Every structure is written in structure tokens, then in C-alpha cells.
Structure 1
Amino acid sequence: MAQQFPTWGPRPPSHRPRPARRRHAVYAVAGALLALLLLAGGGATALYLRFDGNISEIDIDAALGADRPEDEPGGSLDILVLGSDSREGENEVYGRQQGGPRADTAMVVHLAEDRRGGTVVSIPRDTLVDRPACRDEDGGEVPAAERVMFNEAFAVGGPVCAVKTAEAMTGVRMDHYVEVDFRGFEQMIDALGGVEVTLDRPLRDSDSRLDLAAGDHRLDGETALALVRTRKSLGDGSDLERIQLQHSFLRALAAEVREVGVLGDPRQLYRLADTATGAVTTDSALASVPELTALARRLGDIPPERLQTVTLPVGYDPVDPNRVVPLEPQASGVWDALRADVPVPDRLTEGSEAEPKRDADPPALSG
């Protein structure tokens, strides 16, 4: 029997209690980043050339050629969004690099054709996948590998291999690619003037240099980065717990961006647009202020209650409990929903280790 999906309409009430932080839509990495880039559209057209020159680009379509999933008909968009933990150049301040840069945060952002909704699917970086053969950034061949962490693809083959691996895992063609690194994230937060958050309990993690008491805080870029990277201060210290905290933080970030967009002075808007465009790497088709602004407006047009966030359903690997594997058939159902351009049904996340347990501690970050 064919799998049945809901449509992009009002969602029926669920009989299963859902945590507050998952009940509301959030703007995840892509939403926050593209909302920042939207501010570039407020500048004079004469400034476009300056901002365009800030954007780094990768011609992923040329590199991958025709050996890719078919693009689904219609006007829906699928975007692979990565947060890179590269320690090269300015990023060396964040620690020594071991084994090359990695995709510290990975999300597939789906924007519906009718512009009424969207879905953000977080992929835990510890997820074991089969990586296809790739080429490294020097053109050398990297053989295919089984049961490797998803973020290794970026480490061995850069953005092109990350996209190729994501498409092999999901069966979904990625229309665009957006990457932001440590330094860029910190600079964007500082250009914004910080982000206001409320912690329900203290968070301390020497690895990410985090030391925050419970209560209200306005976080600068360095502290915000430590917050979204922390693992040791959260429950069992897993990447799954960290994803939940990231969702809450990026909701707070989106709120700050919207306020600046309405109330900010032109000089701050200029600095923010300049910083945001300088902080990202995109595919060639997206590497211009007009294209990024159009994408940001499309994202901004989606009502918050219809921007769904999901963590890929996973279970702990029976061989290595420090890793997770996609939970089937639920994980395939998530990608089927994206290809069908419909929301991910709630039932597909049931039983996933990524879902908060009923007896779990309350979220550290309100929102």
C-alpha cells in the first residue's frame, strides 16, 4: 500500500505529548543565516557588487555532473546546510584540527513548492552512512567507504563530497548548498549585537569553553558558538541532545534578526549584511546577493507554525554505541515526504533515539 502523507495545511492535533521546544517551528541554521542575508536586500543596489564579492562559491553542479538523483518536478527546493568546524586560518583559535575539517552541523532544508510550508531535517554528525567514492579538493580519488560518520564526507572531499553523500543517503537532489564556518558564525552574532537567551540551568563545558549560570544572558559571538557546540553539559553528552539545544538557540537568533530588520539603523544593517555574506560558502547558482535575498524572502514568507523541524530518526549502533544509524523504515519515510513535498508525519519520529524521553531533564535553553 502506498504511503500516505498529510498536506501543507493546518496540522491535526496529536494524541502524543510533544515537548514545547519541538511544538513550534524554528529557523535552524539555514533560517537564521538566510534571514541575516535578507538584510542585504535593504542596501542600495550599488552595494550589491561589494556584497557579491564577499561570497565564496563552489560549482557543485559541474563537479557532480549527471550522476545524481532526479530533480523532483515543481518548484520545491532542497538545500544542504553545513556548519563547518574547520580549524584553518582564523579558525585555529578554536583548537587543533584532527583529520581535516568536518561538518559540525548538517541540515537538509526543504521549502515547499506552494511556499506554504517547509521542513528542516537535522542529521546527527555521528550518523553512520555508506559514503560514495569522491574526489578530494586536490582532485585525488577517495574510495567509497561503508559505515563512516556522515561528517567525514566533508572532511575527505569538501562540499562536493558532502552533497554527494547527502544525495546518496536521502535520494533527494540538493538544489543548493550553504556553509558557514566557526569564525563566520561568531562574527555574525557580534554584528547583530548578541543574542538574548534564558537558561533554565547552568551549562559548563571546558571543551567548548562554556561557563554560563542559569538565568538571562546576552551572548556575544564567542559564547554563542560555545553554547551551540557544547555536548558535555547536556544530558548524556550526545550529539542528539546538542541538536535540540541548537534548535532553541537558533529560534532566539531568528527573533533577534527580525527585530534588527525592523528597528535597526542603516549602519548596523550594512555591517550585518557585509558580515553575513562574507561568512558563507554557497553553490555557484546561489552565490549572489539577489539570489540569496530571493531565497531568504521565500523562507521568510513561510508562517513559523508551518516550518517543521525534525531530527533524522536514528537508533544507537549495536556495534559502536557512540554512533547512531538511521532507523528504518522511519528514516526513508522522512526522505519520501520531502520528495513528495509534504510535511513529515509525526509517527515517523516515534521510537527514535533523537526524540526527548518522557523522563528527560527539561531543556537547558528556554524557547
Structure 2
Amino acid sequence: MHGVKRVRESPEAAAAKKLREQSKIKEYLALNDDVLAKKASNDWSREAFNLTTRILQINPEFYTAWNYRRNILLQGIFPGSSPKEINDLLTDDLSMTTASLKMHPKVYWIWNHRRWCLENVPDGPGTGTEGDANGWRKTNWDRELFVVDKMLDADSRNFHAWSYRRYVLARMPVARPETAELTYTTRKIESNFSNFSAWHQRTKILSSLWGSGKLDYSKSKEEGKSLRNAMYTDPNDQSVWIYHRWLMGAGADKDVLDREIAIIQELLDEQPDSKWCMESLVHYKQLLLKNHSSSVDAATITNDCRRLLGDLRVLDPARRRRYEEIEKQLLC
């Protein structure tokens, strides 16, 4: 770091450090051999289980150890355990992997093991829900959503956590209201417009709400108004523009297209170097030509698109070929 004086390591200290590292490697390799030997002999004992705990705390990407751990539980430990003991074991594993995720938030195998734990929670009462067969499951799944919330607070764009969140929401014994999840995505987007995963989650929730009739599709106009705030805040953020295209769809009526084209043109006048403004204008003008050709001035719109594509080739030369292909399609 700047301003911090580097302390030169003595030869003795460097040698001691090297010895420690070599010792750790030797211990890890011995532990690895022990785990694989026990797995090969179908050892389903508690001792073997504890060995998987040790090695996975060192190397959480050792998927063979995760698979072995699950087999130990299924074949060696669960058969002699009560439902409460099984629930306690799974809760402990969830706690263990929570600690692992703090250090390794994007290791797939940790998330995968959490799925397995949740799916194997037995029937039984949970806190305050005595007599409810879903009690333990509800308690664990509710806690899981809280854990994911914390993970996304730490890194709001962790796509592993967003994918896992959709999994949790789909499997919860007592469904979380979709409107609550919509509010959650609003909060995440307002804190960071570049959060593509939050925009993507929003498309899933809105599609479900509109499809089930729980939310009037006409309210998509309100969605467009809030989206425009994001567009004006950062016109070069692709997440916003991709969501805008999803919201508009491929068959928007002429009035809607005319309105959005005028809004984007106004923004481009303020931000003349906005690539996404230019690309979106070309996209929506193409939709006008495709879906409303009988009620528009096709020649004028085509010329507008060619001019915009020319500007894009200058502004974004890396995608020059792509813009040339779009222009060829215009002339077909």
C-alpha cells in the first residue's frame, strides 16, 4: 500500500514461513488420503464424518468430500437417529456452511450442500408451531431466506446468491408474498441501478404477478416511470436498458413505441455519446418498421436508423460488424 513502509523479511523468517507452509500442505495431503481411504472402504462412521468437516473447512471446493459427507449421513448416521436429531444435524451443517460462505461466497458446492440439507429436513414441530408437521421445515426455510438476505447485503450482485434465493422462494413451505419480493428488488435496485440480478429477479416476479392476475398489467406504465429515473441517472448502464426492452416486449403498440422513442431521444440530446440510447432507438424504430409499417414513414425511420448505426460504428468500433449486420437487415 502507498505510504506503508515495507519490512524486508529476514532469511530466517522466510525459511520458517516456508516450513510452516510445507507442514500445512503435508497435513492437508494426509487428511485428503484419510478421507478418500475411508470413502473407498464405505466407512459411514462419525469419525469419517468429522474428517469431512475438517477437510471441507480447508477446501470447500472438494466436491467428493461433500458427496461423501451426505452418504455418511444417509447411510451411517440418519438410520439410527430420531427426527429431532436429524434436524439438529442438518441445522449444524447449515451453520457450518454459513461460516464457509462468508469466506467463499461463490463456491457452488457450498450452496449445493445447503439445498440438500433443506430438502432432507424431517417432519416435525418448529419453534412456536407445535403439532405442525411443517414446523421444522418452515423454521429452516425462513432462516435460509434471512441468510440469503445477509449474503446479498454483503454483495448485492452475487449471482450464486440470487439464483439460490429463487430456489428458496420456490420451495418455502409457506410462500412469501410475491409483492414482498417485488419490494425487495425495488430496494436493491434503488441502492444500485447496475444490479442486473435484481432487475432479472424483478422480471420473474412481475411476470408471475401479471400472469396470475394479482397485478394489473396496466401498472407496467408505472414501472416504466420508475425505470426512466434509472435511465436518466446512468444512461450508460446496460442493466437498465436490457430491463427496458423486456418491459416493452416485442409487440408494443405504436403509441407506446412513439412515447418511449421520444423519451430516449430527449435523453440522447442531453447525452449525445450514450451508446445504449442509440442502440435502443434503433431497436424500437425497427419494431415500428416491423409491426406498424402501414402507419409510419418507413423511409424517414430507415434513414434515422442508418444515421444512428453510423454514429455507433464510430463510438463503438469493436462492434462495427454487428452494426453493419443490423443495417443490412434494414435494407432487406
TM-score range, shorter chain: under 0.3
Which structure: greater strand fraction? 1
Which structure: greater helix fraction? 2
| TM-score scaled by length of structure 1 | 0.19
| Greater relative contact order (Cα < 8 A, sep 6+) | 1
